[in-house]
Amino acid sequence: MSRITVVGAGAWGTALALQAARAGHKVALVARDAASAAAINANRESHRLPGVRLPDLIELRHAIPDESDLLLWVVPTQHLRSSLVRLPATDTAIVVCAKGVEANTHLLPLEVVQTVVPNRSLAVLTGPNFAHEIAAGLPAAAVVASIDATLREQVRTLLGTNTFRLYGNDDPIGAQLGGAAKNVIAIAAGAVIGAGLGENARAALVTRGLSELCRLAAALGGRAETVMGLSGLGDLMLTCTGTSSRNFSLGHALGRGESLATILANRSAVTEGVLTAAALVARAGELELPICRAVADLVAGVKTLDQSIAQLLSRPQRDE
């Protein structure tokens, strides 16, 4: 029986802990502090995943164990850097399970880890996955992206089951960009529906968003074909249509006329696309990303929703 440590006891971290236990491993689920760990352990249930009982194979902790066979780092991208101070002095491989771009540095998640913990074997786990469905054991697939083929195989072996199919990929840049950009595009898709612009408009926007993502991946050292897989197209399909998507629902509320401050004030979970939009545009430099830029301007208050829509609709017509 292998020992897997999951750092981060939010909805996604808890779901991955459940998946690791389902695969037959002993799991340490590490909460942010002792009080949080005790609260979850008291009821063997996380308030982020109500109704889902944690099996005995999952041990709640507030300190990261010194020994484990694999570390799943399930912390939001904007808190990833600060959370790494908790990392014990071991050489255990780290699988980052976060999507986005660090706001101040414009670094992707694996790049953040590399700056803090150099010379560590790293992978990213990403794809079209809602936490509550993974927790329930519903069929799903995800991507394990790493330049380390041995680590890719280890993660597939340890976490994969018949209902959670893991596919390896040696393009972590493309996989991370897919996970970051889809949240931004989902905000735009939600705004389109919230504003009553219709399904035709959403389909067009998501398709053109995919085109942006392909250009972005190619420009930043990834591969366009990666974007056509689970970490790009698959994640876009889920996030731009699923009502459980935090980014889509935020965009939907913006489309109905709610203010960003009001929307965020009523949420406890992180909506990554809000901060990712500007960081992604900055990372892209001179590359043309009209949808991502429109979302960045919208959430920053630079443009209104009507202005953002008018700007996109007035772009010159050209061959696809």
Catalytic residues: 182
Specify the pairing of strand 70-73 against strand 58-61. unpaired
The amino acid present at 178, given as its one-letter code, is G
Please, which residues bridge with residue 30 across strands?
Answer: 7, 61
Token output for 97 = 């399970």
Phi-psi region of 52 (alpha: psi -120 to 50; beta: other; left: phi over 0): beta
Give all strands of the β-sheet with 3-7 in edge-to-edge order: 58-61, 26-30, 3-7, 70-73, 94-96, 122-126, 140-145, 164-169
Strand partners, 144: 125, 168
Quote the CA–CA distance of 157 and 189 in Å, as a whole number. Answer: 36
How far are the Cα atoms of 110, 225, 226 from residue 171, in angstroms, in the given order?
12, 10, 7
